[in-house]
Structure 1
Amino acid sequence: MIEEPIRISYFSDVLCVWAYIAQIRLDELATNFQDKIAIEQHFVPIFGNAREKLEKRWCERGGFKGYSHHVQEVVKKFNHITVHPDIWTEAIPASSASCHLFLHAIQLLETKEIVQKSDQVFEKAIWAFRSAFFTKLANISDRRVQFAIAEELKLPIAAIQAQIDSGEAYAQLTKDFDLVKEHTVSVSPTLIFNEGRQRLNGNVGYRVIEANIRELLHNPPEEQSWC
């Protein structure tokens, strides 16, 4: 009897520094658990109206420069990533939603087998967009920048545009919005396990995530445990 993998819903915003930091944890999970888990990526629009949000929330703390300093101070605590010194002060994206839509169009290429799912183009594209923003100040909300990144990944541009033009990429993005409401997700990143009964929000260490997965592996949902 083949056991079904543990399904993990992973919600993040491509412009979120904590999700940028957490990517290494996702990679480690995929390496260590392989076919025992299935990570389903979804997007939450924390920076759906990025400029206005930061202007309001950081108006008394230095504005965009204050937020830039905050991001840089956060990143200094981790040695596996870097950020551009002018992050969030130059080429500031208007919205992460445009990028999320484009990424869902890339995901549809996998679903329709226009590209090989084994190539993991969706996951690679998410990382390419994040790293382009945080390390190169790429305005990833701009469609021209999105196409440029897709070209670097050798993805079929016309096929990506077709998923957007048909409305199918919008449908996938709307599905994310519905899941965000259903699970009341308000933090990036958020991991949801066990059909919504368990969740981990924000900057959670790898060992904590791993412990949750091992608990589910050793104590399946249908089995009760007192501990």
Structure 2
Amino acid sequence: MEPIRIFYFSDILCIWAYIAQIRLDELKATFQDKITLEQHFVPVFGAAHEKLENRWRDRGGLQGYGNHIQEVVKKFDHITVHPNIWTQVTPTSSTSCHLFLHAIQLVEAKGLVEQTGVFEAAAKAFRDAFFTQLANVSDRKVQFEIAEELKLPIAAIQAQIDSGEAYAQLSKDFELVKEHTVTVSPTLIFNEGRQRLNGNVGYRVIEANIRELLHNPSGEQSWC
């Protein structure tokens, strides 16, 4: 049986995607080669400062949003965030991060690094850097600093951006976002687009969807 293909859309600056990382790790550990998880980006914070200032204007602006994040995080014991999140440092755009991460993904796909899993490690590192250290991860200088800490080849990463290949990957994300009408981070899409889970969905719900697909492969009849 072919592995179940799962599209996972997230924004690197989204607190819910940061919270959900532990669920992705558990899925991969539980199902291993039974699933294929394809990570894509949705630009929820493509214009971060403007979006938050506008949407939170009547609720305290950036400070109000920062307070909201703190309240959200109190409900989960596996993550922490900096007390000045979104107020002391406000990244300009998550799209810059997504482009850089696609460049790392290409470097890994081309075998230009000896390590495995560098794309996922980099995505985690970006989220950790922002949410716990207030690193301005939309800044290219900061992005290269994180890559250097991960011992990734800086020149090779820059080459993927300069050649336009990383932009092409980012464009594919935009097309998939449009095709599947993704507006929420995170979003999981299963079963050729016929099933989706949006936002803060618990691990057991995600697991149940996968197990149902494993027991009732696409094309087979199911009474439910």
TM-score, structure 1 as length reference: 0.98
The aligned length equals 224
Deviation, 1:48, is: 0.1
Please point out which of 95, 120, 124 is paired with 2:121: 124
Query: 1: CA distance between counterparts of 2:13 and 2:120?
Result: 15
Please point out which of 197, 201, 206 is paired with 1:200: 197
Query: 2: CA distance between counterparts of 1:224 and 1:138?
Result: 50
- Per the alignment, residue 82 of structure 2 pairs with 84
Deviation, 1:166, is: 0.1
Q: What is the root-mean-square deviation in Å for CA atoms of aligned residues?
A: 0.7
Trace 1:36-115 onto structure 2 (pairs within 5 A).
Answer: 36-115=34-113
Q: Which amino acid aligns with 1:23?
A: Q
Secondary structure in structure 2 of the residue aligned to 1:103 = helix
Deviation, 1:90, is: 1.1
Query: 2: CA distance between counterparts of 1:115 and 1:202?
Result: 33
Query: 1: CA distance between counterparts of 2:5 and 2:108?
Result: 19
Query: 2: CA distance between counterparts of 1:212 and 1:34?
Result: 16
Query: 2: CA distance between counterparts of 1:162 and 1:113?
Result: 14
Query: 1: CA distance between counterparts of 2:170 and 2:119?
Result: 14
Deviation, 1:53, is: 0.2
- Per the alignment, residue 16 of structure 2 pairs with 18
Query: 2: CA distance between counterparts of 1:198 and 1:113?
Result: 33
Deviation, 1:113, is: 1.2
Q: Which amino acid aligns with 2:188?
A: L
Trace 1:149-160 onto structure 2 (pairs within 5 A).
Answer: 149-160=146-157
Deviation, 1:58, is: 0.2
Q: Which amino acid aligns with 2:137?
A: I
Aligned sequence identity (%): 79
Please point out which of 5, 8, 20 is paired with 1:7: 5
Aligned structure 1 segments of 4 or more residues deviating by more than 2 angstroms: none
Query: 2: CA distance between counterparts of 1:186 and 1:55?
Result: 19
Q: Deviations over 1:138-166 (max 9, x none)?
A: 00000000000000000000000000000
Query: 2: CA distance between counterparts of 1:215 and 1:82?
Result: 33
Q: Deviations over 1:11-67 (max 9, x none)?
A: 000000000000000000000000000100000000000000000000000000000
- Per the alignment, residue 167 of structure 2 pairs with 170
Deviation, 1:189, is: 0.1
TM-score, structure 2 as length reference: 0.99
